[in-house]
Amino acid sequence: MNTTDAINRNASKGTDDVRGKTIFFFGIVGMLFLGWIIFPFFIYAPVAQPVQFSHSTHAGDNVGLKCVDCHSYDKDGRFLGIPGTSKCAGCHSHTIGVSDEEKKFVDEYILRHKEIRWVVYSSQPENVYFSHATHVKVGKLDCETCHFGHEFTDKLRPARFSRISGYSIDVSGSTLLDIPSTPSTGMRMDDCAGCHNKRGHKESCIDCHK
């Protein structure tokens, strides 16, 4: 009897050990799932663009526009950014395609002479300046160097802003855990400095901080 009890106790203990380890392991795995899979959706709030624009349609073979046809430079060299709706109206004074987005765009903006309040993906703090003109004209960078693949997109992805700091994921970088801090895919100071250093523009604080 005593022997049987001992065996049962040992078996029960063995089972408890396995179960305890499983629970412990489950805690780790559950938290890893929460942290790496769920948390990124929680920390960043998506904000959709007011109009869905297809770069692939405009830059593709059918239309064949180049980047600078719309994102042009002023006479004094300034980058004009996203064109105003008056420029779009050159072709879209009325609906010329079949998509719902174009119809919405023409009805709500072109016909009403209204500008689109695009959500900015890359707003920097107020003490930081970024000049497209400098990078393209002086630095001789192609648009694709930074915006690679942009011309093949059919939709504008939503901007994702941190619920805490308010910075866009395009600024802070999509890498969630960046220890030690290394240049990644964002627009943080390390990212700018990394590219500048690689291209021989070291110690260039006032290039960005004005």
- How far apart, in Å, are the Cα atoms of 203 and each of 18, 130, 178? 57, 16, 23
Q: Considering only CA atoms, which of 207, 193, 74 is closest in space to residue 129? A: 207
By the rule CB under 8 A, 177 interacts with other proteins:
yes
Least CB distance to other proteins at residue 123 (A): 4
Distance CA 205, CA 190 (A): 12
SS3 195: helix
Q: How far apart are CB 144 and other proteins at their closest, in Å?
A: 26
Nearer to other proteins, 91 or 176 (CB): 176
CB-count burial class (<10 Å; 0-12, 13-18, 19+) for 162: middle
- Alpha-helix residue ranges (DSSP H) falling in 106-187: 132-133, 143-146, 169-172
Stretch that binds other proteins, among 19-27, 104-112, 145-153, 191-199 (CB under 8 A): 19-27
Binding range to other proteins, per CB under 8 A, among 50-58, 88-96, 113-121, 144-152: 113-121
Binding positions for other proteins, rule: CB under 8 A: 12, 15-16, 19-21, 23-32, 34-36, 39-40, 43, 117, 119-120, 123-127, 129, 161-162, 164-167, 172, 176-177, 179, 202-203, 205-206, 209-210
